[in-house]
Amino acid sequence: MNVGQLILNALGLRNDTRVPYPARHDHRAEPHLVPIGRDIEAGWTNYWDMRRQPHALIAGTSNGGKTILQYAILRHWVDSGAFARIAVCDPKMVDFLAAKHLPGVGLYVTLPEIAAAVRGFRNASDQRYERTFAAGRRNYIDEIILNEGRLGLLVDEIQDVTLKEAGLTKGSEDWEINQLRQQISTDLRLAGSKGRASGAHLALATQHPSVDVVTTGIKAVTEFRCYFRTDETAANMVLHAPAAASLPDIPGRALVGPRGILRETQVFLTEPDEFDTWAASR
Ligand SMILES: Nc1ncnc2c1ncn2[C@@H]1O[C@H](COP(=O)(O)OP(=O)(O)OP(=O)(O)O)[C@@H](O)[C@H]1O
Ligand SMILES: [Mg+2]
């Protein structure tokens, strides 16, 4: 912590360990900018600019604040009015129950449901990409986004729906499960590769940042990064962000930004019951 922060904290003007979600933010003013949190050093708000980096990767050990960050993303996606459809995939099943009744939002919790949602997202993204390609105009996608809205896919705990088990025999029930997981991995990667030209956005989260979850393919498409504290192996060998291992042990503290320009950030806090209240009022 620098001297300026110490003084501000002493005066009670800044509390960098809990920054409430800015309830009065005008989400419609700049719909492509997702407010993420407060920059620890500079004090300004750090945003995810979906025009520059269509997809985001959220990684970090348990209780870091990944789900709370996804609440922030979802709040913006919904309140920006810029999204035609949003799919929320929550294999943990309980964290996003309130999202179920949000307008334009689908909640998917079982593996087959999630596989179908991811496939649907990929198809919609492909279709937009093909239309843009056929139109032969680079800015055609801006017209599609304006007229038809953006598409969003949020997946919490991707390892639960992508990580295959080894050594299964063909035809067994678990083998079928592996097939679905393989399909989801492929669909995420391919949907991700079309993002910029389709107005479709992925936000993928995992508490298990290992090479078999955060694969080269996933890393290549998710150019916006939110890294909570991880162990040194994950920070150095998988995420290539050594500083992620030395983040202070404060919930909601993360390295946030486009690949290579990560800023220490205190993510805006939406407590779970606040999320429920927000969702119920939409
Ligand atoms: N931005 C934040 N500011 C302050 N406190 C936070 C913040 N984010 C999370 N917390 C606290 O940490 C708790 C755990 O956060 P969260 O559920 O988002 O963790 P997680 O990374 O999703 O964990 P898991 O991997 O187990 O799902 C929250 O209930 C909240 O009390
Ligand atoms: Mg979580």
Backbone angles phi, psi at 210, to 5 degrees: -110, 170
Question: What per-residue confidence (pLDDT) applies to 165?
Answer: 81
| pTM for the full predicted model | 0.94
Question: What per-residue confidence (pLDDT) applies to 4?
Answer: 64
Q: Which residues pair with 46 in a beta bridge?
A: 37
Question: What per-residue confidence (pLDDT) applies to 20?
Answer: 97
What span, in angstroms and rounded, lies between the C-alpha atoms of 172 and 53?
40
Closest C-alpha to ligand 1, atom 7 = 252
Ligand 1 atom index nearest CA of 267: 1
CB 252 near ligand 1, within 6 Å: yes
CB 67 near ligand 1, within 6 Å: yes
The DSSP bridge pattern shows strands 45-49 and 33-39 to be antiparallel
What span, in angstroms and rounded, lies between the C-alpha atoms of 31 and 16?
26
Burial letters 8-38, b for 16+ CB under 10 A, else e: beeeeebebeebebeeebebeebbbbbbbbb
H or E element that contains 200 = strand 200-206
What span, in angstroms and rounded, lies between the C-alpha atoms of 49 and 88?
20
Q: Which residue blocks in 170-271 are alpha helix, DSSP H? A: 173-193, 216-221, 232-233
Q: What is the dihedral of CA 275, 50, 202, 154, to 10 degrees?
A: 0
Question: What per-residue confidence (pLDDT) applies to 8?
Answer: 62
Q: Which structure tokens are listed for 137?
A: 């105009």
- Comparing CA positions, the residue from 61, 271, 55, 228 lying closest to residue 159 is 61
Q: How far is CA 77 from the centre of its chain?
A: 11
Say whether 143 sits in a helix, a strand or coil. Answer: helix
Choosing from 62, 68, 208, 266 the residue with most ligand 1 atoms within 8 A of its CB, the one to mutate for a pocket test is 68
Helices 66-79, 272-280: axis angle to 10 degrees equals 20
pLDDT digits (tens), the chain, 282 positions: 567 666 666 665 556 789 999 999 999 999 999 999 999 999 999 999 999 999 999 999 999 999 999 999 999 999 999 999 999 999 999 999 999 989 999 999 999 999 999 999 999 999 998 998 899 887 888 999 999 999 999 999 999 999 988 877 888 878 899 999 999 999 999 999 987 778 999 999 999 999 999 999 999 999 999 999 999 999 999 999 999 999 999 999 999 999 989 999 999 999 999 999 999 999
Question: What per-residue confidence (pLDDT) applies to 164?
Answer: 87
* Domains by residue range for the chain, with CATH: 3-22+30-280 (3.40.50.300)
